[in-house]
Structure 1
Amino acid sequence: MPLNLRIFTFQVIDFAGRIPFTLGNLRDLQVLDISDNDLSSTLSSSKSSFLSSLENCKSLLYLSFARNPLISGYLPDSIGNQSSSLRHFDASSCNISGRIPEDIGKWDLVEYVDFSENQFSGTIPDRVCVRENYLRYLSLHENQLEGMLPLSLTNCSNLQILNVANNNLSDTFPHWLGKLPVLRVLVLRSNRFHGSIPDTTNFSFPKFQISDLSHNYSTKFSFSNLQMVDLSHNDFTGLLPTEFFESLESLKEQANYVYGGYQYSVNLTIKGLEREFKIKESKPIFTCIDLSDNGFHGEIPEVVGELRSLHALNLSHNSLTGPIPPSFGNLASLESLDLSFNKLSGRIPSQLTNLTFLEVLRFSNNNFVGPIPHGKQFDTFENDSYQGNLGLCGFPLSKECSNDKISETAQDEEDNGNGIAFIWKVVMMGYGCGMVLGISMAYIVFTTGRPWWLVRMIERDLRNKVSTWFGKKRK
């Protein structure tokens, strides 16, 4: 093997055997990709470990040994000395255990770090972003990490994707991540995050110390660029965060793009199946909000209907009450809507028939009543979309609607759900009745003369009042 080799790629050929520690002799090596094989190695701080030997490769830019399940051991503390020029580090889907070394914070130029699907334990190191750097992608999902998210993540000003799903993290909602100006994907799924999600636009926390880091945060936070939000399978409670939805400015726009030099991937549960979404440079991103399997209660905010570029919305398995906001009819890009297993009530708004891209609809196990809207995509959904709502009727259910319910629905559609037409009808009816009565009285007066019965009644009333007044004066 020539010692001046710069690119070494051994990818997706099911190669087996031990990874030689002599790779460290390739001092000019810039790219090492041995992912998707059956290679084996025991990582440690020993010089016999291929990872430790790579410290000699001072020009290394790209390092990936992902998806080699026979690679075990732990990452040495000296990993921060790997290369001052390192940009990409992928150790996902191996069998690595132990703690994540704090020295990864020394990778000033690194843009991509993936430690997912391993056996890492302990806490996420405070020094993961000890100072401002170029980190864009950080994935730690499917490990055994505990504790809280480190506040030093606020130094990762270029961070676009943060995925810590399927761990044992226990924390409140990290509002301070709203300080990150380009954060687009936030996945906190299947942890033990808890508490309510209060006002995101006016949140502060006290001064904290992290090694040579010292900040005093008391500012406003906004998630204006966030496009993928997965908070499902946690212990969040309280009302749905209206201010949080209002801050999602990028979901109110039509074009959504992610910029970066790498292809990123994120696993999300969409349309009932877990799917991997590839996020490529300058390509539209699949937008979604998943707040399912929590303890949210109260009504769904109207502002959710302003997120016109949203593709998937999952609010299932909570304790939400009240009606579906008619503003949901504005979600023109929506492909999947899951509101099942809540306590929602009222009629299904006819405005939802405007959602022509809708493929998955789940309203089961709520308290909806009245006829199911029909037309366009709504004619394609089957019984299981509505089961567990005893008050619903109409296609595709076998329960037929009475004429009263059908006429009420037609009236609701005519009034567009706001009651304005009904109010104007009442006003015009009163105005018309008043005109008829006035004209009739005038006709009687001018054709028959004075109405003597009305004159005598007024005179008698005046005599009684005058007599009473004089009686009081005499006393």
Structure 2
Amino acid sequence: MWSGVECDEMTGHVIGLDLGNSFLYGSIDSNSTLFDLLHLQRLNLSNNHFNYSRIPTAIGRLSMLTYLNLASSKFIGQIPSQLSQLSKLSNLYLCNNPLQLKKPDLESLISNFTFLEVLCLSQVDISSTVPKSLANFSSLTHLGLRDCKLKGEFPIIIFQLPNLQLLTVRFNKDLSGRLPPVLNQNNSLKSLLLSGTSFYGEIPFEKLASLRELDAHNCNFSGVIPSLIGKLNQLTSLDLSENNFVGEIPSSLGNLTQLTMLSLFSNHFSGPIPLSFSKLINLETLNLHNNDLRDSVDFDIFVGLKNLSFLDLQENYNLSVIVVNPGINETFPQFKVLGLSNCNLKKIPGFLRHQKRMEALFLSKNHIGGPIPEWLFSISKETLNSLSLYKNSLIGELSHRICNFSSLEFLDISHNKLVGKLPRCLGNFSKSMLRLHLRGNYFSGNIPNFMKGNQLELIDLGYNRFEGNLSKSLSNCKMLGYLNVESNKLNDVFPYWLGTLPELEILVLRAN
């Protein structure tokens, strides 16, 4: 028996061919002996590289196929009409290829697929409305139409399909629609993925009891989240971010102990952060950024959430986060991303010194004051890629230990009261640095030298006390698109040599 080949034990006919992930390269034409396997029922050619060739029209000869998987295999062009002749198909995967479905269109393609259970056309250019005829496929369990340039109103009747388990129409910005007050009668829907569409209205949370994943990010939904949401105890992922929800976050969300991801950012939620969040023991991501949350929250409610690695509470202008370091700091989660900007912090939390895998730390616009503690430069030296301490009234000099962060891509310590000369290593400590914000401090001395091969796209040194000439090492910043050195004490002739920078669009030299 050859690997990937399945034969009928009675007749010896090849009925299955599984060549997925087989490093195949090249094209298949209609003369291939593959299309002589007329008894073939299952064909998997997914995750190969067919060199942007077309799907052969001879595919229509394989009339016994029930399973066809050509996903992620670099096929291109119009899907051939001959494929619609495969009337026994129950599983069809054409997703993640630069294909088109115009002639035939979607409705014509599927018109003969009486037994259709799985239809995956994500990233296929369909550029049409969604046909109502999809609602006739009562066996359909998975419908994948992500990023297909769909438009118009999504047929509400499709939500009534009795066996539908997964529906994704993500990233079709011209596709609108409403959710029905009652979904499919068998309550089978497990994943509903609508992000990046124009779906609107209210979400009937109380009718989604079987749901495990709801992604409504960046839609036009509105209304109040009812306390009944606490009964959706199958949910593992809930994303309602970038919508128009209002009211308080219901404390009943704390009952959803299977949640690993909860994202509510950029809405109009008000009131406090529910203390019941301390019960979300499986939570890995919590994003409440940019709402109108208020009152005080004790950081201790997150201490028991051992899996929490992403926490963002930024830009809630009336929220105060109280951090009292416990006796054993190791009880805090090990964060990858922590956003506490504009949270009325009085000092940099001491538990950060125990963070071993931090990738991004945002503490801007607080009331911290004082010098940057030396221990801060010891956290996550190899992993930290973003650090923001913007607008905190910080004083003192910038320690040379900032150069310990060898993976740093984004550094913003602008609008503080930092003084002295910059560490000489600042121009060459990180080969990955993209954005350097030092604006609005009292830094003095010469601008540091920048090494060849750096990736810097933005440098803002404005409103400081730098003096001398503009460092010619800036010509090494070949990716630089923005350079601002305004309002310093620089003394030089016009830096014509900056004309060699191919990406430079904004150059600010005034007030020197």
For Structure 1 versus Structure 2, the TM-score category normalised by the shorter chain is 0.5 to 0.7
Q: CA deviation at 1:146?
A: 0.3
Separation in 1 of the partners of 2:438 and 2:184? Answer: 56
Distance 1:36 1:350, change over 3 A: closer
Q: CA deviation at 1:235?
A: 4.8
CA-based RMSD of the aligned residues comes to 3.0
Distance 1:237 1:394, change over 3 A: farther
Matches within 5 A, 1:11-90: 11-37=146-172, 38-43=174-179, 49=180, 52-69=181-198, 71-76=199-204, 79-84=205-210, 86-90=211-215
The structure 1 residue matched to 2:373, chosen from 284, 301, 325, is 301
Distance 1:372 1:23, change over 3 A: closer
Q: Does 1:225 align with 2:330?
A: no
Aligned to 1:95: 220
Q: Secondary structure at the match of 2:368?
A: strand
Paired AA for residue 385 in structure 1: D
Greater Rg by CA: 1
Matches within 5 A, 1:76-475: 76=204, 79-84=205-210, 86-130=211-255, 133-175=257-299, 176-195=301-320, 197-202=322-327, 222-232=331-341, 234-241=342-349, 243-251=350-358, 287-307=359-379, 308=381, 309-352=383-426, 353-374=428-449, 376=451, 385-390=460-465, 392-393=467-468, 395-396=470-471, 399=490
In 2, are the aligned partners of 1:355 and 1:377 still within 8 Å (CA)? no
Q: Secondary structure at the match of 1:59?
A: coil
Deviation sequence 1:344-401 (CA, Å, 0-9, x none): 1122223434334333222222112334443637999799633322255465287479
Distance 1:197 1:235, change over 3 A: same
Separation in 2 of the partners of 1:237 and 1:174? Answer: 12
Which structure is higher in helix share? Answer: 1
Q: Secondary structure at the match of 1:170?
A: strand
Give the number of the structure with larger relative contact order, counting CA–CA contacts within 8 Å between residues 6 or more apart: 1
Deviation sequence 1:186-219 (CA, Å, 0-9, x none): 12222125446543335xxxxxxxxxxxxxxxx9
For normalisation by structure 1, the TM-score amounts to 0.64
Q: Secondary structure at the match of 2:377?
A: helix
Paired AA for residue 36 in structure 1: F
Paired AA for residue 276 in structure 2: S
Q: Which moved more, 1:347-356 or 1:329-338?
A: 347-356
Q: CA deviation at 1:112?
A: 1.4
How many residues align? The count is 336
Q: Secondary structure at the match of 1:244?
A: helix
In 1, are the aligned partners of 2:433 and 2:454 still within 8 Å (CA)? no
Q: CA deviation at 1:182?
A: 1.3
The alignment-based identity, stated in percent, is 31
Separation in 2 of the partners of 1:140 and 1:358? Answer: 30
Aligned to 1:443: none
In 2, are the aligned partners of 1:323 and 1:345 still within 8 Å (CA)? yes
List alignment gaps of at least 5 residues for structure 1. 44-48, 203-218, 252-286, 402-475
List alignment gaps of at least 5 residues for structure 2. 1-135, 472-484, 493-512
